[in-house]
Structure 1
């Protein structure tokens, strides 16, 4: 197996990616964006590196994206542009490695899930071919959190206050991504994919954490995908909190088994 860092051309300069090539012809490919509230995270965090290595061990080619983090002078659409550039490059790399176009997916965790979903919306708006399928792990997709289900609210109530992702916490996260509060017309649709028109969105696996203040956003997105006619597989990993792919262990292992089944079987599951 080979792991190597590359620089991908993008509109704001080169984008860092880390490529995880399995032994032999890959069974599938995933372009993968880590989380971190848009303003933190890197290619070495478990949510990026450990996830990629586990998939690589099971024959999946992974292109992990080191997009520019939001901060002073770096706001939407810069991270989104980086993910789009990495997707276009990663898809061509996967095809050249022998992966079928129907087995090249785009995905992300938490804020990376937002960036992945937003990239899909931008591809659709531009008339480009979207990914064959999408994987979103506990994504944040709304700048104003939807109302949680009773079960989700009960799970979050047991968390310490600083781990609950309140509406104020979410607003601050998106203000950091957008460079300030959304204007009177709201945030651009690709920055808040949960509010967008989802017509044409590809088949999607939505993985959530049980005790997660952002869970309602993912649940509402999955519901709206169904209404838009998109095949959806939604699973809540029991006994987990937000960001559980950053904590390798039994629940990480369980989630990655689900992800592998999705990546390899999505064409048949969604036909």
Structure 2
């Protein structure tokens, strides 16, 4: 599998291109964003590199975005290698994503990508950035993705408390219960550089109303089984459905948050990526 890191944008970010392992061209495309609480992660982590390689092997050209990270919160351990560009909160990562999106559309012929089958997606905080970027594309009347793929997304800064079976599962596995209200709100406050009150939808897409989602593309959400953030993805899926949009919400059995970043732990990552690959392959020209 070849890699072609291609620079874009004044901030010096890159998009790493993973060409599809197929002979036929053009292929479906996917603009993909890793997670990391908005302030950590990189395009070499499994949630980026393993995901991209797997989906490229299945026939999709993947464009992994090395977006600008938010400032490192107090108490977080600094990465061994800091990114070679400035840290910045919202809208830096969203702006980088939109720049990458426009770059891929402009270079689609060179990349061998069918622009009509170009999707966007991400995991965890990356899923938030992807979902919010789509809302910004809608607001500015630009080309929308053919498909949105979200893995265990965080979509609300102040999410409802989990109830029923999810609450019981979290109580039984306290090591998985790491996204309580204070932790989530603090993550968003760091990303926003201030209060979550009146934050833009691009930063908190789960707040979008039915009316604001009437043009949202078809969406597949794969949530963690024992993951408090599941509450926000369920909320977003219900709102999309109420807006008459095509949405599928799947709970990957036996998983907690971040299973795409742990591909060696059982079959969960492979199952989720098989779901994604099937939806990407099914996109029609």
* CA shift for structure 1 position 149: 4.5
Residue among 218, 226, 250 paired with 2:241:
226
Q: Counterpart of 1:48?
A: 48
1:10-52: CA deviations, max 9, x gaps? 5xx2321111012332531100000000000001100000000
User: Which structure 1 residue ranges, 5 or more long, are not aligned?
Assistant: none
**TM norm structure 2:** 0.87
Distance 1:198 1:148, change over 3 A: farther
1:77-97 Cα distance to aligned partner (Å, 9 max, x none)? 111101111111123333443
Which residue number corresponds to residue 61 of structure 1? 61
Query: 83, 88, 102: which is aligned to 1:88?
Result: 102
User: Which runs of structure 1 show a deviation greater than 4 angstroms over 4 or more consecutive aligned residues?
Assistant: none
Partner-residue secondary structure (3-state), 2:263? coil
2: CA distance, partners of 1:62 / 1:241: 25
- 1:177-216 correspondence runs (5 A): 177-183=191-197, 186-196=198-208, 197-216=212-231
Give yes or no for the alignment of 1:16 onto 2:14.
Answer: yes
Q: Report the Cα offset of residue 102 of structure 1.
A: 3.0
Relative distance call for 1:209 and 1:236 in structure 2 (3 A) is: same
* CA displacement at 1:164 relative to structure 2: 2.7
The superposition leaves residues 214-260 of structure 1 with CA deviations (integer Å, 9 ceiling, x where unpaired) of 01001111111111111011111001110100011311111111111
Identify the residue that residue 256 of structure 1 maps to in structure 2: 273
Cα separation, partners in 2 of 1:207 and 1:39, compared to 1, 3 Å? same
Assess if the C-alpha contact under 8 Å between 1:26 and 1:60 holds in 2.
no
After superposition, what is the alpha-carbon deviation per residue over 1:99-132, rounded to whole angstroms, capped at 9, x for unaligned?
A: 3333210001100011001100001001111111
1:169 aligns with: 183
Ranges in structure 2 where 5+ consecutive residues have no aligned partner: 73-86
TM, length-normalised to structure 1:
0.92
* CA deviation vs aligned residue, 1:159-183 (integer Å, no higher than 9, x gap): 2257430000001100110002224
CA–CA distance in 2 between the matches of 1:32 and 1:202? 16
CA distance in 1, matches of 2:122, 2:49: 13
Q: Secondary structure at the match of 2:182?
A: helix
Deviation at 1:266, TM superposition (A): 4.4
Q: Distance in 2 between matches of 1:120 and 1:265?
A: 21
Give the root-mean-square deviation of aligned CA atoms: 1.8
Which one has the bigger helix percentage? 1
Structure 1 residues 58 and 161: alpha-carbon distance in aligned structure 2, compared to 1, 3 A threshold: closer
